[in-house]
Amino acid sequence: MSRREIEVADRTWSGRALDLASVVLPGVRRVRAQKIPFARAWSEANQEALVSGKSLWVALGDSMTQGIGARTVSGGWVPRLDARLGDRFAVVNLSMSGARIADVLDDQLPRMLALTPALVTVLVGANDMLTPARRRGVEKRFIDLLDRLPAGRSVVATLPHGNAAADTVNALLDTAGARGRIQVADMRGPALGPLRGSLADDWFHPNDVGYARIAGIFEGPVRAATSFRVGD
């Protein structure tokens, strides 16, 4: 079986597993039902952002940047952080539920090329950690991602997962951060706080409490990347 066939089979298996879980577990079904309305809400908000005349913040990533699991779209970490910053940006959220690093590279980054963002945030990789097949090649894809992000204006989250692939990616991010190419939003260790009370009904995505914590993790690095002082 070729690598492409393995990836297709892996994606198909994962999709079927989630479909089955959504039937058996009401919490999974409730959270999955947010995908279309949240994506539609962001699409409409993006159109408004592009004609706002404000500095652009482009958010890249997966369902966590969509805010899936929060009670409403505004409960996700991106709107929460935007409010903390005083709504200084017009947010263009190019994230997509289920996205992996390859989706950011192949779809989201090319769409960003037509823009000139003052800030870029990246929170992706959880879907790449789900199986050994998905972890294959993660280091190379993250190297490509870092090479293509605008230097000095990008904030990238580390992976909280405790495996060798995540450790390798996090080392790459630490090195890029030390060189000043990116700011690092560190989600390792105790940064995300206790899981109890911070997960949505599917026990995978954050809820409002979890997203508030993620907004807090990103705030310092975002202010550093945009020359804002914490407390401004």
Give the tens place of pLDDT for each residue, 24-37. 455 788 889 999 99
Q: Do 196 and 124 meet the contact criterion of CB atoms below 8 Å apart?
A: no
Q: Give me the pLDDT at residue 201, please.
A: 87
In three-state secondary structure terms, 203 is coil
Which strands make up the sheet holding 183-185, listed edge to edge?
Answer: 89-93, 55-61, 119-123, 154-157, 183-185
Higher-confidence residue of 12 and 159: namely 159
DSSP structural state of residue 125: -
Task: Show Cβ contacts of residue 22 under 8 Å, excluding neighbours closer than 6 positions.
Answer: 28, 29, 32
| H or E segment to which residue 47 belongs | helix 35-50
Domain ranges of the chain: 36-225
Instruction: Flag whether pLDDT at 229 surpasses 70.
Output: no
- Average pLDDT, stretch 87-100? 96
CATH of domain 36-225: 3.40.50.1110
Whether the full predicted model's pTM is greater than 0.75, yes or no, is: yes
Average pLDDT, the chain: 88
Higher-confidence residue of 202 and 1: namely 202
Q: Give me the pLDDT at residue 26, please.
A: 59
Q: Give me the pLDDT at residue 127, please.
A: 94
